[in-house]
Amino acid sequence: MNQQHTKSEEEIKELVDKHSSLIFRIAYCILSNSEDAQDAVQETFLKYITKAPEFNSEEHRKAWLIRVATNISKNMLLFRRKRETVDLSDIENIGINEDDFETFELIMNLPTKYKLVMILYYVEGYLSKEIAEIIGISEDAVRKRLQKGRELLKKEIEKEQSI
């Protein structure tokens, strides 16, 4: 059931303040571009104020926002002509230090399906079971993606360090 009441100005501001950076991180990791990620954040909240169901907990609301942001970002990717790579001039606007660019680039270059579960697990602190529910895959698939993601990142880091 959709939420029947319209959100007040205060509710909207509080919601954006509380969850926008989380949604932005997810969107950025999929889109690798801050402008597109900002559009995805806006679309996610717009969907929230028009179509969100009623939530029984804050965690439920957060999981819904992550799911919707992931879908919106993946859809935006489909309409792109070429694959975007992280830009040095773009990262300073999003809180990443220039000195960390190479490391950040290694993470961002991982395939989206591995990167997404790794971010939810290592950065947002979700358990494999919770990630499975949020992105709609089995717990076993989450564990496999985590394993593969770790292996890929390890390989890239070692390659970088040997140069």
Question: CB under 8 A: which stretch of 56-64, 68-76, 79-87, 96-104 binds another protein?
Answer: 96-104
54 near another protein, rule: CB under 8 A: no
CA-CA distance, 108 to 96, in Å (whole number)? 12
Q: Where are the alpha helices (DSSP H) in the chain?
A: 9-31, 34-51, 58-78, 88-91, 101-108, 112-118, 128-135, 139-162
Amino acid making up residue 45: F
Q: Indicate whether 72 belongs to the interface with another protein (CB under 8 A).
A: no
Min dist CB 77 to another protein, Å, is 18
127 binds another protein (CB under 8 A): no
**7 lies in the binding site for another protein (CB under 8 A):** yes
Q: Which two tokens stand for residue 28?
A: 């950025």
Q: Coil, strand or helix: which one is 36?
A: helix
User: Which residues, other chains included, contact 51 with Cβ-Cβ below 8 Å and sequence gap of 6+?
Assistant: 2
Binding test (CB under 8 A) with another protein, winner from 76, 118, 131, 135: 118
How near is the Cβ of 124 to another protein at its closest, in Å? 8
- Asked if 3 is part of the footprint of another protein (rule: CB under 8 A), the reply reads no
CB 47 within 8 A of CB 68: yes
Q: Which of 3, 52, 90, 104 binds another protein (CB under 8 A)?
A: 104
Least separation, in Å, of the C-beta of 91 and another protein?
9
> Closest distance between another protein and the C-beta of residue 99, in Å?
11
- CB nearer to another protein: give 20 or 71: 20
Of 112, 109, 90, nearest in space to 35 by CA: 90
d(CA 41, CA 115): 18
Find the binder of another protein among 75, 93, 138, 147 (CB under 8 A): 93
29 binds another protein (CB under 8 A): yes
